[in-house]
Structure formats: structure tokens, C-alpha cells
Chains A and B, each alone.
Chain A
Amino acid sequence: MATTRRAPRRPNPAVGKWLAVAVLVATTLVSLFPLFWMLSTAFTPGSATIKTPPSLIPVPEALLDPSSLPTWVAERAYGPTLDNFQRLVDQTRGLVWRWLLNSAVIAVSITLFHVLFDTMAGYGFARKEFPGRVLLFGLLLSTLMIPPQVTLIPNFLLISRLGLADSNLGVILPGLADVFGIFLMRQYLQTLPREVEDAARVDGAGEWSVFWGIVLPLAKPAVATLAIFMFMRSWNNFIWPLIVLRSGDRLTLPVGVATLQGEFATDVGLIMAGAAVAAVPMIVFFLLFQRYFLDGIRVGALKG
């Protein structure tokens, strides 16, 4: 990248560069605006959420004296409050905490199962010889082509018959048929040298202790990418929990927020507070583990 040179006859490279930066900054603003608008509305006092011009500039209560601010600012200023969040908790009778808990339980379970099962399968496909290995792996990979909507109805009928409708387990189980992690772990394990495993085997370690004691620890970097990817995917999953879950206290956050829209249609502050509760954990998570997210995109797994 460093070797790329600008064309020699270009009139003024600096202008081009600043123009490029200007475009990038402008698109950044467009990209982040919905999140900014969500937070603005969520922290605006209820009465000020619906007004013209919109309240967009947070000003601490103490400085919020219209006479001391320029008119343009004063018209758009608001004193940030937690009123909307308080109302969100009160109006849903605390259900929003249940949704947060449900989302966390489901996302963590799916992530743990996937890390274990996918590393096992990736190891099997990368290292073991058995008839049908290539065919089976190809068959699993081919499921990438199947739109997930195709299995909605049969899976719903199946989960209902198993008596798992409206339960966390009913959301978790079908989430475990996902080939991405197997593919990721197989690719990663193929790049690792076999010597350590073979040495342990010579020392008499059994198959499971080789896997648990050596392969799994060695696969840590790939496991981190996989875990973060799976957590995000299940945290944000919508259509499947929307179908399986019915009772108000069983919902996940995205489904719960979607129901707020029907119930409190006119209370935008409350709805945006709910949206913020669902969005902020993922945003923090992303900022902490950015590197792994980018790895996840590069192997072609994350939507965006």
C-alpha cells in the first residue's frame, strides 16, 4: 500500500486528498446519524421529543438558560435526562430487564455450543480420515445457499411438537445448525502444525484429551473470532425468536423493542430508550473487540 504513488502530472495532490477525506467524513456522519438521532431522542425529556426544530444538542441542565445561549442553539438544546429509560422500565413493569436477561442467556448459550461443536467438527474435518468426509463437509457447506426462511415453518412445527415453543431452548436449538463456524475452525486448524498433537499421542494421550488439552487451546484466536461472531448473530437475531416466543416475559430484546412500537406508538422517547438498551451492549462489545469483528468480515461471515 505504501508503494502506491500519486500520478506525477496531477495538478495538486493535496486538494484531492482533502476532498477524499471530506467525502469520508461526510459518509461517516451519514452512517452514524441514525445512532446519534436514537440517542438524542432517548435522552431528551419526553415533552421535547416532538418539537420543531428537533432537540439535537445536549446541554447540561445548569447551562440550559435560553437567554445565555445563541437562539440557534437554544432552540435545539435539551437537558439530557433518564426520564425515558425510567418510563421504559415502569411502563413495561420491568420486563425490559427480562428481555435483556433472555437475550444474554440465549446468545451466550448459542455461542458456547457453537464454540464446542464447531471446533470439534472443524478438527474432525481438518485432521481425521474417514469415509464420506469430503462429501459430508460439502453437504454442510452447501447449506450456505439455502435461505434461512425456507426452514422457518418446518422448524416451527418441529419445535412446537417438541413442546419447546415459547422457550429459550426453542430459540437456541435451531440456531446450532450453522456451518460458518465449522468452516472457520477447519480452515484455521489446517494451518496449525500436527507435531504437538502427534507428540501427545505418542505419550499416550487419548483422542479427547488431545482435543481438549491441545487443539482447543491452540485454536484460541479462531475461537475468539467465532465466539464474537456467534454472540452478535444471536443477539441480533429477530425473525426466529419473533416466531417462537409469545409471552411478554420470554421475549428477547429486539423482539421486545419491536412490540414497544405497537404498544407505545406515540411515545417515541420510550421506544428510542428501548432501542438504545438493545443497541448499546453490541456497540460497546464492538469497540472492545473490533479486531475480531474485522476478521469475521474478512472470512465473509458478517452482514453489513
Chain B
Amino acid sequence: MARALPIRSARTATPSRRRARWRRWLPGYLFVLPSTAMFAIFLFGPVIWSLLLAFQDASLTQREWTGLDNFRGLLDDRVFRKALRNTALFAAVTVPVNLLVALVLAGLMKPLAARWQTFFRAAYYLPAVTSVVILATVWRWMFNPRFGAINQLLDLGPVPWLARPNLALWAVILSAALTIPAAGVVMYSAAMGSIPGDLYEAAGLEGAGPVRQWWDITVPLLKPTTLYLVVMYTIWAFEVFERVYIMTGGGPAYATTTIVQLIFDTGFRDWQYGVASAQAVVLFALVALAAAVQFRWLRSDVQY
């Protein structure tokens, strides 16, 4: 009789069967437990906490719910608007420059022998394994008005790059633009290597020159990689901090303050946790928005 009701017995498992199932699942849960616990404590919890703090007037001494006041305050805050503008300008210049440099260098490397490709990739990647903090320290010295490399080698005279409000941000941008986007070069190289050679052969037979081939075959087929790199470099640009903190500290007169520099100042110099959290939430929203827009804009179903 019991055998006549297989469906029912599967749904309401006997205690022993339930125990057997748990015994099968338990190792899986235990294996993912340590990592998951770390995420719960140091990431998911803090993200929620941050969202809550954004609606509070929280500082070292007090804490009270203030609704949207922090966000309203940000709208009127000239420094915050300045930070948004600075960050946007930094991203608007460095992202296209980085992408273009990566694309061109990967293309130029492609016909070379494998060992030369390895050599150039390593040469480009060498600065990237060095902390941005260290490189920014060097750049700050390179921008020194009297004895720095830039003014001396270019014979510019004592230009105070980092001390002039209208030059400082451009100096920071220049330092980022002149850093070879090594990850981009490597990703583009890998993607170019997987484009079938017969496409080029066919184009060559039809008389298309290398530039034409590059523009009509390589660039369109690299679109998925481009999308990925645009999103990543945009996110990194939005989160720029070390470079600014070391080179200028955000000055002079907030000329180089970026969003993260401002979050740092608000949270850990002025100890305004609530306001700083609101700023971080805005950053989060901007990053998510930028990624969403770029995915929509560059999405493609290229196959090769």
C-alpha cells in the first residue's frame, strides 16, 4: 500500500530520510561557511549598516535619525558638487585615453614574436604591480616645480603643477593617462589572439589594407572586451583615491578633491559618519548607473 503512494512519500519525508538529506547537504554548507561568514560580517552587514547611517546624523558623539537630510545637504554642498565634477572629468579623460592606448598597443604587439610580446607586456605591467601610493609619491616628486622631472626634462621653467587650482587636477589626470593600462593591453592581446586568422586573409585578398582590416575586423570583434574594459576602467576611475591623496591631498582649494577623497575627509577627518555614508551611497549609485548604461550602450551579440 505504501508503495502505491510514491509522490506523497517523497513530499513528506520520514525523519530518517530528512536526516539523510541533511547529511548529504551538510558538507557543502560547511565548506562554504568560513567565506560566507566573512562576507556576512565584513561586507553584507556593513553595506546595510552604511545604508542606515546614511539616514542618520551620526558622528563620534551622537546618533539620530534625520531622514533624507544628509542627501539634501549634499545637493547644496559646493564641495560635494566639486568632487563630483572632478571625478567626472578624471573619468571622462582617463577612461577613453586608457582604452585607446591599450587597444593601439595590443594591436602593435600582435605581429611580434611571442617573446617580444612577453617582454612588452612585462614592461607595461611592472609599474602596475607597484602600489599606486608609491607611483603617486614619485609623480608628486616629478611634478616638483623646481627640481621635478617634468619641468626639467621638458624645460618648462618652475611651473607649480600641484599648487595651482587650475593645473592640479590636470596634473593628476596626466599622471593617470601616462600610466600604461597594462590590464587592458593584456586583455586586448588575449582577445585579438582568438580572432580567426582567415578573416584577415579573406580581407587581405579583397585588398583591404592593415588599417582597414583593423577598423573593420579587429575593432568590432573586440567589442565584448571593450565593454568589459570600459566598465572596469570607469569603476576604477570613479573610485580614484590614492593618487589624489598622495599627490595633492585634494587641494588646493578642493581643486582635486574626488568623491572617495571627500568620503575619507568627511568620515575620518571630520568624523561625520552619517554624511560620509550618504556620500558613499551616492558613489555606489553612480557606479551601478554607469555600469548599467555602458552595458546597454555597448551590448552586442558578436560571435566568432
Among residues of A, the one whose C-beta sits closest to the C-beta of B213 is A7
Q: Is B181 an interface residue (CB 8 A)?
A: yes
Interface residues on chain A, number (Cβ under 8 Å)? 103
B153-187 residues with Cβ-Cβ distance < 8 A to A are 153, 178-184, 186-187
Q: A-B pairs with CB below 8 Å: how many?
A: 310
Q: Is A64 an interface residue (CB 8 A)?
A: no
Among residues of B, the one whose C-beta sits closest to the C-beta of A127 is B28
Contact indicator per residue, chain A 197-240, by CB within 8 Å of chain B (1) or not (0): 00000000001000100000000000000000000100110110
A1-60 residues with Cβ-Cβ distance < 8 A to B are 1-10, 16-17, 20-21, 23-24, 27-28, 30-35, 37-38, 41, 49-54
Q: Is B27 an interface residue (CB 8 A)?
A: yes
Q: Is A62 an interface residue (CB 8 A)?
A: no
Whether the pair B178, A297 counts as a contact (CB closer than 8 A) is no
Contacts of A23 in B (CB 8 A): 104-105, 108
Contacts of A173 in B (CB 8 A): 38, 41-42
Whether the pair A282, B242 counts as a contact (CB closer than 8 A) is no
Distance from B275 Cβ to chain A, minimum over Cβ atoms (Å): 10
Whether the pair A298, B187 counts as a contact (CB closer than 8 A) is yes
Among residues of B, the one whose C-beta sits closest to the C-beta of A291 is B118
Contacts of B42 in A (CB 8 A): 151, 155, 158, 173-174, 176-177
Segment of A65-73, A83-91, A94-102, A115-123 engaged in the interface with chain B:
A115-123
Q: Is A251 an interface residue (CB 8 A)?
A: no
Distance from A107 Cβ to chain B, minimum over Cβ atoms (Å): 12
Interface size class of B (residues with CB under 8 A): 35 or more
Distance from A96 Cβ to chain B, minimum over Cβ atoms (Å): 14
Contacts of B263 in A (CB 8 A): 149, 152
Distance from B215 Cβ to chain A, minimum over Cβ atoms (Å): 13
Distance from A86 Cβ to chain B, minimum over Cβ atoms (Å): 20
Distance from A80 Cβ to chain B, minimum over Cβ atoms (Å): 18
Whether the pair B130, A157 counts as a contact (CB closer than 8 A) is no
How many Å lie between the Cα of A130 and that of B122 in the bound state? 43
B138 CB contact (under 8 Å) in A129, A147, A158, A272: A272
Known pairs A257-B134, A290-B125. 14 more at Cβ < 8 A?
Answer: A3-B197, A6-B204, A20-B112, A23-B104, A30-B180, A146-B284, A153-B50, A173-B41, A176-B42, A179-B39, A239-B264, A258-B245, A303-B128, A304-B181
A residues whose Cβ falls under 8 Å from a Cβ of B: 1-10, 16-17, 20-21, 23-24, 27-28, 30-35, 37-38, 41, 49-54, 116-118, 120-121, 123-125, 127-131, 133, 136, 139-140, 143, 145-158, 173-174, 176-177, 179, 182, 207, 211, 232, 235-236, 238-239, 243, 254, 257-258, 261, 268, 271-272, 275, 278-279, 282-283, 285-287, 290, 293-294, 297-298, 300, 302-304
